[in-house]
Amino acid sequence: MSQENKKKEQGQREEGRPSRRVLSAEKKYQIFLEVQRQETSAAEILRREGLYSTDLTRIRNQVKEAALERLSARPGRKAAVVPAEQYESLKKELEEKERVLAELSVELAVLRKKTNGGTWER
């Protein structure tokens, strides 16, 4: 077996460094909770998971940011996101209605002038 294949099997890059491990959000949260419980030392948990103290700091910051974001959210429905093409369609429709309204306003003003100041009685 070649040296390159052995490194790939061991989870190492060609430069000799271990490949970066990607943790799921669930796994990060489990690690966070385990460290918070303080049943075992953080160093022992980090060793077991193959993480560094900076990884734990990053996880703590992510949990804090997510908690603050979630707690600061206002209750109720979130605003619906409209697709761009639907937005453009609605925008054109609104512009057309505004144009028609302006034309009708001018027509109404002309009719009022013809009827002596806006009274419909003769």
Please report whether residue 77 resides in a domain.
no
pTM as predicted? 0.48
Q: Helix, strand, or coil here: 18?
A: strand
Judge contact between 55 and 43, C-beta under 8 A.
no
Both 9 and 66 in one domain: the answer is yes
Q: What is the pLDDT of residues 51-76, one digit of tens each?
A: 999 999 999 999 999 999 888 888 88
**Domain check: are 13 and 66 in the same one?**
yes
**Do 62 and 93 fall within a single domain?**
no
pLDDT at 7: 47
**pLDDT reported for residue 77:** 77
Number of domains in the chain: 2
Q: Is residue 61 part of a domain?
A: yes
* Host domain of residue 29: 3-72
Residue 46 has pLDDT above 90, yes or no: yes
| Assigned domain for 67 exists | yes
Does residue 25 contact residue 32 with C-beta atoms inside 8 Å? no
Q: What is the pLDDT of residues 83-118, one digit of tens each?
A: 999 999 999 999 999 999 999 999 998 888 888 765
Q: Does 53 lie in the same domain as 27?
A: yes
